[in-house]
Amino acid sequence: MSLASNFGLLLFPSYCSSCNRNLMHYEKAICLHCQSKLPRLYLCDQQDNPVEKVFWGRIAVESATALLKMPRNGATQRLIHRLKYHDDQEVGERLGAMLGAEMLASQRMNDYDFILPVPLHPKKQHLRGYNQCDSIARGIAEAMHCSPMIGNLVRTQHTSTQTRKGRLSRWNNVSNIFWVKYPEQLEHKRVLLVDDVITTGATIEACVAALQKIEGIQVSVASLAIPA
């Protein structure tokens, strides 16, 4: 590392988004100590894993995985909250890169043409200023040496928050609200659909329903976390 870079870190230090300690020059967003303590799931090579079971009898996905368990008030929840509500996009990219590296090393989920983030409605994204899933998709895509496709899958209706809704209410809230602008770009492609957290899976289900209208498409699913 250059002297100028070291001086820059002294003037403008970066802090771990989990523990708030100073980051070393080789660390990004989350210190190595906190990364080592995260509750990893390692599901990529597990067929019929808990994420895949969420979608049984609902939609057909090639495979599904998540990076972390998310117990209440734990480190995962803190990091997701910073990403989602405090514009900490470096967290999304770092966790996305960790997930991408895990998938790249797997036998089942190591090859995709495009990484698609679950979209926000344009009005909500304008108010928030960002879509947290975009940064996750960028991190995964960089680790897997493929392309993020942002803006092709779109949300056509602005719905109420999914928080505290039951499974049926969540599905009624999001069904038929996603649309693919340029379906020809995804014909006969393997795509990975990315969300921050999968709970009931209603949002993912609605996205996949829109994507599976495209000829020859194969859809897998990944998220940063699932509830513990």
What's the pLDDT at 158?
67
What's the pLDDT at 13?
87
Q: Domains plus CATH for the chain?
A: 1-37 (no CATH), 38-227 (3.40.50.2020)
What's the pLDDT at 176?
81
What's the pLDDT at 4?
47
Tokens found for residue 177: 């609200």
What's the pLDDT at 7?
46
Q: Give the pLDDT means over successive 10-residue stretches in the chain (228 positions).
A: 49 87 95 98 98 96 98 97 96 98 98 98 94 98 97 84 56 76 98 97 96 98 97
Residues 6+ apart with CB under 8 A from 74: 39, 228
Tokens found for residue 95: 């966790």
Output the pTM of the full model. Answer: 0.88
What's the pLDDT at 28?
95
Integer CA distances (angstroms), 161 to 46, 92, 164, 165, in order: 31, 21, 8, 8
What's the pLDDT at 157?
80
What's the pLDDT at 3?
47
Beta bridge partners of 115: 148, 192
> What confidence tens digit (pLDDT) does each residue in 216-227 have?
999 999 999 999
What's the pLDDT at 144?
98
Under a CB-based contact definition with an 8 Å cutoff, are residues 68 and 78 in contact? Answer: no
